[in-house]
Structure 1
Amino acid sequence: MSTVTEPFTGSRPEPGAFVHPALFYRDDDEYLAGTVPFVREGLAGGEPVAVAVPGERLALIRDALGADAERVRLLDMREAGRNPGRIIPGVLRAFADAQPADRRVRIIGEPIWAGRSGTEYPACAQHEALINDAFEGRAVTILCPYDAVRLDAAVLADAHATHPVVIPAGSAGELPSTAYDPAGVVARYNAPLPPGPDAPVLSFPFAAGSLPDARHAATGAAGRLGLGGVRLDDLALVTAELTTNSVVHGGGAGVLRLWAEDGYVVCEVRDRGRLTDPLAGRRPASRDQRGGRGLLLVNLVCDLVRTHTGPDGTTVRTWFAV
């Protein structure tokens, strides 16, 4: 294992300011030079520190930290962030909100890696863009590593658009991103979803009086496709939340569709409503909050959630691994 000697030299943030740099790296040495000193600086300053990166990268950081690793919250992003929509509420905010209000929080989050599928990536890009709104005005620093060798050029370009500052590969210094445009990224990836099958296993128009029937039809079809146990219960919960949301907020009716795809059961709900808040389902619910938890629950239990909203309505598509 190489010894990390280069210090992390990111700029010192203003009190109460959110900081969100992208770190580009080409190999393990550059990865460790950008992440381990970042962690140690946080620990030395009394800051709570979390690291949420893919398992193989997590092992590198853990080994390089040695005994200091015991003072860091370590999470495998392949598991904790399988669905990009759960990373803000279930990983980043879950850690930051649990810390004392008078301390800056420091997090390494790597939600995009070379193994991410093309189906997952649009949700990843939107996640990175939405972090900026989710933490605006918070004393939090989130460093996001990007593999400059294995990731596509378009992914690296998006990183410049979703991060206000960048750390180029081989450099320890921050630069302002001249391409920063998180709202543009959110809008660009709010594209119509790829069409599902012409003849799905289930296509069920529903309204207020048929919500229980829609849920039973979905669980029956998913069970026949091999989904069972807790995951079948999760699908029942998601179906109930999405169809109820359509009745209450989406014009009173919708269509539920379900099919099998590449080892997943895919469940989709379409209605005529308009989803106007890009952070809907990505904010943790406050203790005294009434309602508004439906999309949050959907993000927390699904393996992937993709949405598209436009003048003609909204589609929410969810994936459950069989």
Structure 2
Amino acid sequence: MTFEPATRPGTGPLRHDALFYRTDDDYVTGVRSFVRAGLVAGEPVLIAVPGLRLDLLRTALGGGTELRFVDMAREGRNPGWIIPGVLHAFVEEHAPARVRVVGEPVWPGRSAQAYPRCVQHEALINIALAGRPVSLLCPYDAVRLDVEVIADAASTHPFLIRDGDRQPSAGYGHPENVVDSFNQPFPTPPPSASTLFFESSGLSGMRAMVAALAHQAGLDREQVDDLRVAANEIATNAVVHSGRPAVARVWLDDDGLVCEITGSSVLTDRLAGRLPPSPVSDSGRGLLLVNYLCDLVQVHTDNTSTTVRLHMHRRAEPATGTAPTLGS
């Protein structure tokens, strides 16, 4: 997959800017200016930011029906779901009209485990939405986030905004190169991990192991079912595509449960699971569904294998939401 834009990224239909803010006033001023420009132009506006930032913007912008607010900490808890479930869904809903989105996928307190997938997400926007009529503003806390995070934001956004001044990013890199630079091997699973080598005939045993340990981890019934489905999707792909045995490792962590599956097939499509497949396609729905079901999905691939880690976190209250439409 090669990204060769006809024009400089950020000057075509897709506008993907990073807003570096230092105070709440900076944050509100930058977002409000962006949103108001969209409203004046008659563009639908989506605001997808986490937690207290959502409350801050609701107060500053008002709650008119022309604005849609989404809690990124919930809907974007798995960075792999942001493009298909938040951005692409909004673009398709209003196509062919131009839309405007405030999206904050990285914030102070975002887990270190999720961060590499966040950077890959930001880079992949430049491929997944290339040529689409979208103006996307991504706020970054320039005070509380590490300097490395700010540098990564500069590498994934063609234009940067500081103090109201929009300038091309000197650090912008080709999206594929950024994605590949974060394709790093995972830390070794703990010695306590339960391990199962399996072939296609052993999928039921793998599902049983995952379900039993999910119960032990304190996940609720819906989460147990979701993780079992997600693990089965990844495990099936691992043994069917390669025709060789695969290995599942499952362990409890502080948040809940981690299920890791390694197979001999090699995942080459950087956008796999990030965009809905064509309605006439017979494939491409599995990883999309997995991204929807899990709290975090990590992927590492090399020349001989692919490893997928599925994270499911304990929750204090039942989750709500609408299941994705995987065929559109």
Given the two structures, how large is their TM-score scaled by the length of structure 1?
0.91
**What SS class does the counterpart of residue 252 from structure 1 fall into?**
coil
Is residue 10–residue 16 contact of structure 2 (8 Å, CA) maintained in 1? no
**Residue 32, structure 1, aligned to residue 28, structure 2:** yes
Q: CA deviation at 1:289?
A: 2.7
Q: Rate the CA distance shift 1:164–1:311 in 2: closer, same or farther, 3 A.
A: same
Q: Distance in 1 between matches of 2:66 and 2:188?
A: 47
Matches within 5 A, 1:85-100: 85-100=80-95
Deviations 1:251-279 (A, max 9, x none): 43210110001122000100111110111
Please name the residue that 2:244 is paired with: 252
Quote the offset at 1:216 in angstroms. 1.4
Q: 1:235 aligns with which of 203, 227, 235?
A: 227
Shift in Å, 1:61: 1.3
Aligned to 1:10: none
Q: 1:57 to 1:14 in 2, by over 3 A?
A: closer
5+ residue gaps, structure 1:
1-12
Partners in 2 of 1:87 and 1:137 — Cα distance? 18
Aligned AA (2:164): A
1:126 maps to 2:113:
no
1:261 maps to what in 2?
253
- The reply to whether residue 199 of structure 1 matches residue 195 of structure 2 is no
1:111 corresponds to 2:129:
no
Q: Secondary structure, in 3 states, of the residue corresponding to 1:79?
A: helix
SS in 2 for 1:70: coil
Q: Distance in 2 between the 1:275 and 1:14 partners?
A: 29
The one-letter code sitting in structure 2 at the alignment partner of 1:185 is V
With over 3 angstroms needed to count, the CA separation of the structure-2 counterparts of 1:59 and 1:311, relative to structure 1, is: same
Superposed CA deviations along residues 103-146 of structure 1, whole A, max 9, x for unmatched, are: 11110000000011111111111111111101011111111000
> Conserved in 2, the CA contact under 8 Å of 1:251 and 1:271?
no
- CA gap of 1:183–1:100, structure 2 versus 1, over 3 A, is closer
Structure 1 position 147, deviation (Å): 0.2
Alignment of 1:68-87 (within 5 A): 69-87=64-82
- In 1, Cα distance between the equivalents of 2:11 and 2:146? 35
Tell me the distance in 2 between the aligned counterparts of 1:66 and 1:270. Answer: 48
Instruction: State the SS of the aligned residue for 2:14.
Output: coil
In structure 2, what residue type is equivalent to 1:70?
T
Return the offset for 1:227.
Answer: 2.1
Q: Which residue number corresponds to residue 41 of structure 1?
A: 37
What is the aligned residue count?
305
* Partner residue, 1:22: 18
Aligned to 1:164: 158
Tell me if the contact between 1:22 and 1:167 (Cα under 8 Å) persists in the aligned partners: yes
In structure 2, what residue type is equivalent to 1:47?
E
Aligned twin of 1:271: 263
CA distance in 2, matches of 1:188, 1:14: 22
**Residue 92 of structure 1 aligns to which amino acid in structure 2?**
L
Residue 15 of structure 1 contacts residue 139 of structure 1 at CA under 8 Å; is this kept in 2? no
1:112 alignment partner AA = V
Q: Which moved more, 1:103-112 or 1:287-296?
A: 287-296
Contact 2:217/2:256 (8 A) holds in 1:
no
Give the drift of 1:93: 0.6
Alpha-carbon distance in structure 2 between the residues aligned to 1:93 and 1:42: 18
Cα separation, partners in 2 of 1:310 and 1:243, compared to 1, 3 Å: same
- SS of 1:37's equivalent in the other structure is helix
Alignment check: 8 A CA contact 1:109 1:144 kept:
yes
Counterpart of 2:216? 224
**Alpha-carbon displacement from aligned partner over 1:206-264 (angstroms, at most 9, x marks no partner):** 11111112111211222122223100000110111011111222343210110001122
Cα distance in structure 2, aligned partners of 1:134 and 1:70: 28
Deviation at 1:15, TM superposition (A): 9.4
Unmatched runs of 5 consecutive residues or more in structure 2: 1-8, 315-328
CA–CA distance in structure 2, aligned partners of residues 321 and 138 of structure 1 = 34
- Matched to 2:228, the amino acid is A
TM-score normalised by L of structure 2: 0.90
Q: Does 1:139 align with 2:114?
A: no
Kept after mapping to 1: 8 A contact 2:276/2:284: no
CA distance in 1, matches of 2:218, 2:54: 33
SS of the aligned residue for 1:24 comes to strand
Looking at structure 1, the residues matched to 184 and 298 of structure 2 have their Cα atoms a distance apart, in angstroms, of 10
**Match of 1:196, SS?**
coil
Tell me what 2:178 maps to.
Answer: 185
SS at 1:199 equivalent: coil
CA RMSD in angstroms comes to 1.6
